Amino acid sequence: MADIKTKTASFGYQEVPAGEKEGMVRAVFDSVAENYDLMNDLMSGGVHRIWKSVLLDRLNPQPGQHLLDVAGGTGDIALSFLSRANERPIRGRKPAKVTICDINHSMLHAGTKRADAERFGDSVTRTCSDAQNLPYPDNHFDAYTIGFGIRNVTDMQAALTEAYRVLKPGGRFFCLEFSHPITDGFQNLYDTYSFNVIPWLGEKVADDRESYQYLIESIRRFPSQQDFAGKIRRAGFSRVDYENLSGGIAALHAGWRL
């Protein structure tokens, strides 16, 4: 979140000069890249796969579509999109394509070493670029996804405006992000787990307590489900809605570019 007037941004619980946040976030993901997929499974008990699967159910990938997966990291969402699209009858359409965009070269590189990375050949393009300033033309993609990425972006509103710009009319927008549990009791339980277990796991598995402490803090600073839906509407999207996943630990926001 960037405060334009004072030019500060939240980095976990710290307020830092907005111009410095990007470099700090980059350092976090440089540090976690190698263990990212393993840590994701350990931290969420594998549940992040279910959340991503819900996103893909709603998106309903089809041949002929071109997906832009921003903050795509190692490519979980993008590669699952292709697997699903390729299972559908082609009916004269071109095969589906994905472009994975991430600001962090180490995360993209870790994605090329995944067991399934080679499977899709030139249906996958990887570009190292910033969600706030995408190097793609207007009206270009059929769908845009961003999974567990937008809370790391300095100016979220700028990233949402860019999402709107690069989507074709009729294009779908989906944002999967950690959010806020819907009951106080559940929030307390979740706080106990996340502030104790996750930094500990970060230290034991990846020898990196601080990066995982940042990840937890950045989740707490993220806007409520309703406030984030408001930002998506402000970027121009229509029929904006969200669904809570696992009691609000994560939320899936969706909208249409009409």
Ligand X SMILES: C[S@@+](CC[C@H](N)C(=O)[O-])C[C@H]1O[C@@H](n2cnc3c(N)ncnc32)[C@H](O)[C@@H]1O
In whole angstroms, how large is the CA radius of gyration of the chain?
18
Q: For residue 117, give both structure tokens.
A: 């990375």
Single out the segment in contact with ligand X by CB under 6 A; choices: 103-111, 135-143, 178-186, 216-224.
Answer: 103-111
Single out the segment in contact with ligand X by CB under 6 A; choices: 55-63, 96-104, 186-194, 232-240.
Answer: 96-104
Length in residues, the chain: 258
d(CA 86, CA 72): 20
Single out the segment in contact with ligand X by CB under 6 A; choices: 67-75, 81-89, 115-123, 238-246.
Answer: 67-75
Going through 87-209 in order, the beta strands assigned E by DSSP cover 97-102, 124-128, 141-147, 167-178
Count of CA atoms in the C-beta half-sphere (13 A) of 103? 21
Single out the segment in contact with ligand X by CB under 6 A; choices: 59-67, 72-80, 90-98, 183-191.
Answer: 72-80
Regarding 71 and contact with ligand X (CB under 6 A), the answer is yes
Q: Whose Cβ is closer to ligand X: residue 64's or residue 105's?
A: 105
In sequence order, what are the beta bridge partners of 146?
A: 70, 175
Q: Per-residue contact track with ligand X, 135 to 164, x per CB under 6 A?
A: ------------xxx--xx-----------
Q: Whose Cβ is closer to ligand X: residue 130's or residue 142's?
A: 130
Phi/psi at 240 (nearest 5 deg)? -75, 135
Q: Which of residues 1-40 bind ligand X (CB under 6 A)?
A: 25, 29
Cβ(178)–Cβ(222) below 8 Å: yes
Q: Whose Cβ is closer to ligand X: residue 10's or residue 104's?
A: 104
The binder of ligand X chosen from 8, 18, 55, 76 (CB under 6 A): 76
Measuring CA to CA, which residue among 8, 1, 131 is closest to residue 71? 131
In sequence order, what are the beta bridge partners of 98?
A: 67, 124
Residues near ligand X (CB under 6 A): 25, 29, 70-73, 76-77, 102-104, 107, 130-132, 147-149, 152-153
